[in-house]
Amino acid sequence: MNAPPILLRTDDVVVLNKPAGLPVHPGRQGGASVEDWFPLLSRRRTGPWLAHRLDQDTAGCLLIALRRPALLAAQAAFAEGRAEKTYWAVVRGAPAGESGAVEAPLLRHAKGAQWRMVIDAAGQAARTEWRVLGRGEDMAWLELRPRTGRTHQIRVHCASLGCPILGDAVYGDGKGRMHLLARALGVPLQPPVAATAPPPEHMIPALLACGWSRA
């Protein structure tokens, strides 16, 4: 697999366009991961480091810190909700209305070796703002802005609206590849980070069907 494209590079950070299907960490069974390309990003004795994470099947903007002060500053921005994260998803069906927010706490639920996130009052607070960008036949193209950073947050919240993300094997029907893109990322570092990722090829037919234009 080729190295992920670089969307933005400064002396302190790199934003990669992570392909869908590529994990950020090596798995127990081996195989490629984002960390395989760290030696190509920096020859310093320490680092690089992941400043945050994306699910294996999510494509798009992934921030890598090349220096430890940038790592700490980025982690603080994510933890304090100062990082602006914008996602695109194509979902099965459509939510009621044109925009809104899901505010539903999430709790990890394990059963044997399997686990998933569930909406539970005992869980951590989670908020996702959404709006419809386009509609197709039995599908919709959503823009999503998570205001918290819980595991699988967008995936669970979309499912709770009655419109799971296409291809989501845990919270949807799992048919085909997952249609979730970390579209844009803004982080208040010095200099500021602002990057936008193009849709991956597997999402383009569904986006076109919902009114997206390549232009």
Q: Is 36 a catalytic residue?
A: no
Alpha-carbon distances, residue 161 vs 96, 124, 129, 175 (angstroms) = 8, 19, 12, 19
Determine the average pLDDT of the residues in 171-179: 94
| Mean pLDDT computed over 154-182 | 96
Helical H runs in the chain?
A: 38-41, 68-79, 153-160, 204-209
Question: What is d(CA 35, CA 41) in angstroms, rounded to the nearest whole number?
Answer: 10
Per the DSSP assignment, residues forming a β-bridge with 146 are 128
CATH number of 6-209: 3.30.2350.10
User: What pLDDT score was predicted for residue 136?
Assistant: 97
Q: With cut-offs at 50, 70 and 90, classify the pLDDT of residue 1.
A: low
Residue 18: pLDDT band by 50, 70, 90 thresholds?
A: very high
Environment class of 20 (CB within 10 Å of its CB; exposed 0-12, middle 13-18, buried 19+):
buried
Q: Residues 171-195: what's their mean pLDDT?
A: 96
Per-residue pLDDT, averaged over 161-184, amounts to 96
What confidence category does residue 31 fall into, taking pLDDT thresholds of 50, 70 and 90?
confident
Q: Which of 55, 57, 120, 173 is catalytic?
A: 55
Q: What is the pTM of this model?
A: 0.95
- Give the pLDDT confidence score for residue 106 in this predicted structure: 98
